[in-house]
Amino acid sequence: MGESPPSDCKEIIRSAFDNVAAHIFNLSALQMAVDEFVTECISIDSVVRDLEPRMDKVEITLRTDMRILINEIQHLRERKFSK
């Protein structure tokens, strides 16, 4: 699967966050991360690569929220590029 262009990246990240927001406990912390990733978004793969190491440095609830977001990002990416 190839790298996604920045416009797809931003759209997928925003959509993924919107889809999982109701299930997130640390909404403001995750919103700040999403805002940062959308601003610097090069590709979906780069966002996931940048987000995963951050999970090691946070408490378990935020780590779970981040995993939920990553899973949704990957799900949306697969759906978009399988069409």
What's the total number of domains in the chain? 1
Q: What is the pLDDT of residue 6?
A: 60
Q: What is the pLDDT of residue 1?
A: 44
| Segments in 21-59 forming alpha helices (H) | 27-40, 44-54
Q: Is residue 25 part of a domain?
A: yes
Q: Is residue 58 part of a domain?
A: yes
Q: For residue 15, what are its two tokens?
A: 């959509």
Domain that includes residue 14, residue range: 6-81
Q: For residue 72, what are its two tokens?
A: 């949704």
Q: What is the pLDDT of residue 43?
A: 86
Low-confidence residues of the chain: pLDDT under 50: 1-2
Q: What is the pLDDT of residue 61?
A: 94
d(CA 75, CA 59): 24
Q: Is residue 1 part of a domain?
A: no
Q: What is the pLDDT of residue 3?
A: 52
Q: Is residue 34 part of a domain?
A: yes
Q: Is residue 30 part of a domain?
A: yes
